[in-house]
Amino acid sequence: MASYSNKLTKDYVYQITFIIWNKPLAKLMLLWIVGQLILRADSTAAEVLVLVTNLSSVHFMHENRKKANKKAAKIEKFAHKLVNFTSDMEDRRVLFEADALSNVEVIRLCSAAVIMHCLELKQESEVLHSVALQASTSSHQLDMMKQKLQLQGMKIENLMDFYREYRISLLEILSGVQLAETPQEWVARTNKMFASG
């Protein structure tokens, strides 16, 4: 019977205790129950243990509140960057709408590719924003999302520079200069660039 009891303790009680200890409210309740049980023992040691239990529970509550405030501040900063990035993508998309209406077919093709990537990055940033607002998002995950957003910003800047250079060469087509790559090759290369990240 003792071996069964020890097995039960190892299999379940340790796991339950670990789960409870990782939940702030459950931890507080467990400490309160232990404090109440000790209080009924009517001794000075019991009173000291109750005091220590109460002080530790206040400490745990303070630490959890501090973590929550730190995470909220981080989310607020990140959310601001995401909103700015999303509006920037929308502004760039609108800017390239004019090129998409151009009479020159190759300019329309290339600007449509840029618009598509702007919309794609805008949607990804909106997904990041909704994930960041979830309560279960850790501080480490927020840091990873911030890095991903910076990478997306660098990608779109590279694409803009890439497009400006190619657009100049597209306009030279009208004056009879031969292009180094076709617009279809350019679009394929930009799509490959965005697919790799």
The reply to whether 68 falls in a domain is no
Q: How many domains does the chain have?
A: 2
Question: Is 49 part of any domain?
Answer: yes
Judgement on whether residues 27 and 114 belong to the same structural domain of the protein: no
Residues 42, 133 share a domain: no
Residues 27 and 107 in one domain: no
Let me know if residue 69 belongs to a domain.
no
Q: What is the pLDDT of residues 144-183, one digit of tens each?
A: 888 888 888 888 888 888 888 877 777 666 666 566 667 7
Say if CB 118 and CB 89 are below 8 A apart.
yes
Does the CA dihedral 148-187-196-131 come out positive or negative?
positive
Q: Is residue 176 part of a domain?
A: yes
Q: Based on the domain organization, do 45 and 142 belong to the same domain? A: no
The answer to whether residues 121 and 24 belong to one domain is: no
Q: Is-contact 129 86, C-beta < 8 A?
A: yes
Mean pLDDT of 90-115: 74
- When computed from its CA atoms, the radius of gyration of the chain, rounded to whole angstroms, is 30
* 100 and 130 fall within a common domain: yes
Tell me, yes or no, whether 67 lies in a domain: no
176 with 85, same domain? yes
**Is the CB of residue 136 less than 8 Å from the CB of residue 164?**
no
Within 13 Å, how many C-alpha atoms sit on residue 19's CB side? 6
The pLDDT tens digits for 27-77 are: 777 777 766 766 666 666 666 766 777 777 777 788 888 888 888 888 788
In the structure, what pLDDT confidence band is assigned to residue 1 with cuts at 50, 70 and 90?
very low
- Residue 104 falls inside a structural domain: yes
126 and 80 both lie in a single domain: yes
Quote the CA–CA distance of 170 and 191 in Å, as a whole number.
Answer: 18
Comparing 51 with 117, which gets the higher pLDDT? 117
**By percentage, how much of the chain surpasses pLDDT 70?**
71
Single out the residue in 62, 91, 107 at which a domain terminates: 62
Last-in-domain residue among 15, 32, 62 = 62
Final residue before a domain boundary, out of 19, 39, 62: 62
Residue range of the domain that includes 176: 74-195
Query: Is 58 within a domain?
Result: yes
Give the global pTM.
Answer: 0.55
